[in-house]
Amino acid sequence: MPKTKKATINLNGSSIEIDEYNFKKDYLIWKKQCESVSSEVMASTGSPHMRGASKRGKYPKNLYLQMKAHVVKYLRSTSKNPGNTGTSTVIDQIDESILNVEVYTLKQLDFLEDLSVELDEILDVDNINPRNTLFTSMKGAKRGEKIKSKDGESVRAKYKMEGGEEVPIYGHYRDPYFELKYGEPEKKGWWSYEKNTANPPLAQAIYGSGGKGESVGITKGLVQILEEALEEIPKKGSNINLSVQRKSGSLAAIPSVRKAVFSLLGRADLFSGGKPKLKQMSSILQGMDFVVGDKSYGRRTASPSNIVTYVGNLPKLAGPVDTFRLNRFGATAMASLILAVIGKKTYRLKNNNYLDIKGKTIVPKEVKKSWSEMLWRD
């Protein structure tokens, strides 16, 4: 059975390990698929036939780059898009979040969720929604005679067109009219007479190739991948090699820690009279894996995962902490943890001695009886 790949980050002396997120693999596949769809396949290369102010120049060479440039650049001179919004900034931020973040904190998860909502809202803005990119066509027009080139010059239009009604079309320009006039095949499903129904390559990249229209091979759209990410991240548990930076006693609220400490308190070999061998105890705890669980002792409002990150002075993680090990856990921290677990200053050990931690516990003094008390005892 192949080993699961792990991702690890180091923060404040602690190391956080997690199984790699599955959605990251899907994202890399999506990005590669988008980069493999050329501007020629998209029928979106920029036109060499435009002149003057209408000249568009060459479009980005693939679907991924055209997504990044969507709205921001390469607009038709008659475009109704404002040119300062679109998917470009969002795509860059999503790319950075997915490729650069190894283990998600709650704050990073919230940010990714905001990006997902922003991307999804593109559908609600007509002049940004790639399904509603506006073009003009002639519905019902008929092909006329073939256009002859003059003096060997190439001509874009191949045939004269007759009749028809000027109508808006959405999504893409390669409709039946374009095919009749220019001799280039219609891109079925990429265009529509109605809003929100076309499925051009840019829409397929965002929402997937499934459904209506000629597919460019995008297995999952970016929106689908983000939905998977937002579902997977909060469920993905981590394992922490914990460097204690704050009150070690806070760990007493975790049942597995309490059980381990009480076990140590029951061992006679770890005491000299009532004095605990703190260094030896802390060494034993450092060799243990503690299950964090979802319930804390005596603190109903405290999440065990949040207790662990608090003690390590770590940001709150988006997913639960499954297990942790103690790192850099000394005698002072061990003493504080014992006191927090027993919850009182006087504690009798199984060896009948009282727990004796200098300056921290109270050891009752032995009461000596007088001779008269001993003589007159019942």
Range list of H helices, the chain: 22-36, 63-69, 88-100, 106-120, 176-182, 201-207, 222-232, 255-265, 278-286, 304-311, 331-342, 371-375
Region of residue 71 (left: phi > 0; alpha: psi -120 to 50; beta: else): left
pLDDT, residue 82, reads: 42
Region of residue 340 (left: phi > 0; alpha: psi -120 to 50; beta: else): alpha
pLDDT, residue 91, reads: 85
Instruction: Name residues whose C-beta falls within 8 Å of residue 17's C-beta, 6 or more positions apart in sequence.
Output: 6, 7, 8, 238, 239, 240, 241
Global confidence as pTM = 0.80
pLDDT in 10s for each residue of the chain, 378 residues: 566 788 899 999 999 999 999 999 999 999 999 999 999 999 998 765 454 444 556 788 999 999 887 744 333 344 333 444 455 577 888 999 999 999 999 999 999 998 888 887 766 777 788 899 999 999 999 999 998 887 767 778 899 999 999 999 999 999 999 999 999 999 999 999 999 899 999 999 998 887 677 899 998 999 999 999 999 999 999 999 999 999 999 999 999 999 999 999 999 999 999 999 999 999 999 999 999 998 888 756 689 999 999 999 999 999 999 999 998 899 999 999 999 999 999 999 999 999 999 999 999 987 555 555 555 555
